[in-house]
Structure formats: C-alpha cells, structure tokens
Structure 1
Amino acid sequence: MHGSGGSTRKLKQSKHTSTKLHRNVFKIDLTNQPKYVSKKVLNQVSQILKTILRLTNKRINFLDDSLTK
C-alpha cells in the first residue's frame, strides 16, 4: 500500500511543478530577488499587485504604467 502511494505522489509532484514554482515565487518576491521569476508569473503577480494597489490607494496610478511597460 505505502509503496504504490509513494509512486503516485512522485508523479503528482512532477506534474504539478507550477504550484511549487508559485510558492518559490512568493518567497523570492519577499526576498527581492526577481531574477528567477518567469515572465508569466511576473504578469500574474503584477496583476495581483495592481488590484491590491487599486483597492488600497487609487493615487498610485503611475505604478500600473511602470509594471505594464
């Protein structure tokens, strides 16, 4: 039972590397090391940041432009 469970778990881990990347991205984002962040994830993070900024402070509009360019 345990052996088969381990093999399926390994398969799931290899398939869902994106979730691992996501966790790492947030860690990297907190430590200010965006070298390892992919463009796709950067876009997602920037969208989330934009939404947060829009909700918290609508005066920070110039940040939207700098993130998209």
Structure 2
Amino acid sequence: MQTVVDGAKTPEEWCAMLRQQGAHVSARTLRAKARETGQYLSLGRAMLLNPKHLAVLLQPEADAVPLEEGGHD
C-alpha cells in the first residue's frame, strides 16, 4: 500500500541527489518554492517532499522570459 510519504525526503536530501546529477539547488531555495506553491508535507517543523512534489517544483516557471541566447531570465 502506497502512502503520501513513500519516497518522501527532506529538501536537503533532495538537493544532495540533484547535485549528484549536476543540478545545484540550495535547500533554502527548494523550501521557499515549496512553501510558495504549497507543494510539501509537514509534521511540526519538519518539511518533506515526495517525488510528485519535486516534479511540480522543478517545472519551468510560466513567467520566465526567454533570453536571446536561449536561456531564461
């Protein structure tokens, strides 16, 4: 039986995994975006993100403006 906490990790754990794949994101940034979008679980002061939360948090932001070089501002 799967629960919402299956695969859930702290923002620090997710950041460590992302760093291994070449993506450098701080836990503070991940926490802020999770709070801003409501994509997290909490128990007391502990924050957990499951894989579905992370997928939403890593989606490109709709208001990002493409730069001439092909990146985003």
Specify the TM-score bucket, using the shorter chain as the normaliser.
under 0.3
Q: Which has the higher helix share?
A: 1
Instruction: Work out which structure has the larger RCO, using CA pairs closer than 8 Å and 6 or more positions apart in sequence.
Output: 2
Which structure would you say has the larger Rg?
1
Q: Which has the higher strand share?
A: 2
